[in-house]
Homo-oligomer: A and B are copies of this chain.
Amino acid sequence: MYDSSLHEECGVFGIYDKTGIDVPSTVYYALYALQHRGQESCGIAINDDNRITCQKGMGLVSDNFNESTLAAMKGNIAIGHVRYAAEDNASKENCLPLVINHLKGTLTIAMNGQIANAKQLRYKLECEGSIFHSSRDAEVVAHLIVKERLTAKSIEEAVLKAVSQLEGSYCFVIMSPRKLIAVRDPMGFRPLCIGSIKKDTIVFSSESCALTAIGAKLERDVKPGEMVVVSQDSMFSDESRSTEKSALCIFEHVYFARPDSVIDGQSVYKARLAAGAFLAKSHPVEADIIIGVPDSGVTAAIGYARESGIPYGEGFIKNRYIGRTFIQPKQSMREKSVSIKLGVIHANVENKRVVMVDDSIVRGTTSKNIIKALKTAGAKEVHVRISSPQFLFPCYFGTDVPDSSQLASCRFSVEELAKEIGADSLGFLTLDEVSHIALDSKLNFCTGCFTGKYPVEINKE
């Protein structure tokens, strides 16, 4: 799925370096490694003995930071953020980290996830006279923490009391004047891991690929419901909110995460490979070549190829330069939009029976255009294999899976959908299969978007 409506919301990073060396550049390189999780805006906040500098703005890390902005940052605690933003809140006010002042000093928050009861919490806060500068869930949480802080004995106690009011998916990295705190929701919807650099530096990151990039060692994942608090002298963990249950978003493995990340014990790469293998077993077809839709379809395609014995080949060249400022083609060129973004490698598809592996189908329009491009390039047959089950229900936990009226799988049977998108055959992963692609995972998975059975109760108003 090269350009669909399915999007991760954010990537977060935090660092507590007791020596204070190279903190800004470490966050900078870590955000480069997390950039795939959000390209709309980014930011770094750094704490120099409780004097906070925050640099953030629309666009990529490369658009917002240069040698002089980095040079201007000093301190030994810092948090960073990359964000994907839905159209309606893509404004400067909504950039993170959020820096606010309160009775006990300054509080800085970076967040990944979606608070299911944010609207209700916000309404309650507004009824008490709270004001909001943005439409971000993080601002709601900041209010809750600050309110709790009035009576709590410590910032970590306040954080704990605040997040206990939250429903939904969240990972927070929070910076107080003297502490760095990481929190993961009790279901563990979104990934968050802990790393170390030598003995003096602790880091938190949405994905382990950022640890590798900066030369940090992956210590472990923050557990669902866990809060980890780092200060100058100590690091301790609170697991009072942890339960037996867990529900990591399966799309972290299928689509969002970088394949070189390991999430809760499971290699993302291996999960994709396994998904492809399952597809080959359940939906075999005579074909000449297996191709994947970049980026996430590629690994699953290799898995399909290995299992089936049919050769793997590159089907498309993805244009790497298309970003936030890309001007969408006008009507007259609309059809060619796919060709601008994905160049078909004719040599691999001409006169061939092609199996095309993709990670998902949302509305179906994109698939239709890609298949058309393959057929125009001479593919004799195009068999589509999707490395996840059918989307049948909306997501309330931070992906953009839309409501049923827009989901192709709600409108068509598999056979109808194949016809609709122009595929010669179409196969999805089953629910049972998807739950087996990540056998190394210490966590169970959320399958709400496939089954409508959500791991936490949803107040659908």
Contact = CB atoms under 8 A, between A and B. Distances in A.
A421 to B, nearest CB: 21
Contact of A319 (B25, B33, B298): B33
A132 interface: yes
A3 to B, nearest CB: 14
Number of copies: 4
Contact of A258 (B26, B131, B259, B317): B317
A312 B321 contact: no
B131 A150 contact: no
Contacts of A267: 345-347
Contacts of A20: none
A63 B326 CA distance: 10
Interface string A294-337: 00001100100010000111101101111111110110110110
Interface in A131-162: 131-133, 135, 142-143, 146-147, 149-150
Contacts of A273: 347
A459 interface: no
Interface string A24-43: 01101100110110010000
A143 B147 CA distance: 15
Interface residues of A, number: 88
Given A32-B319, A260-B343, A67 B327 contact: yes
- Most chain B C-beta atoms within 10 Å of own C-beta, residue among A28, A258, A348: A348
A269 B25 contact: no
Contact of A343 (B26, B146, B149, B212): B212
Contacts of A127: 103, 150
Interface of A: 21-22, 25-26, 28-29, 32-33, 35-36, 39, 60-63, 65-68, 70, 99-103, 107, 123, 126-133, 135, 142-143, 146-147, 149-150, 209, 212-215, 258-260, 262, 267, 269-270, 273, 298-299, 302, 306, 311-314, 316-317, 319-327, 329-330, 332-333, 335-336, 339-340, 343-348
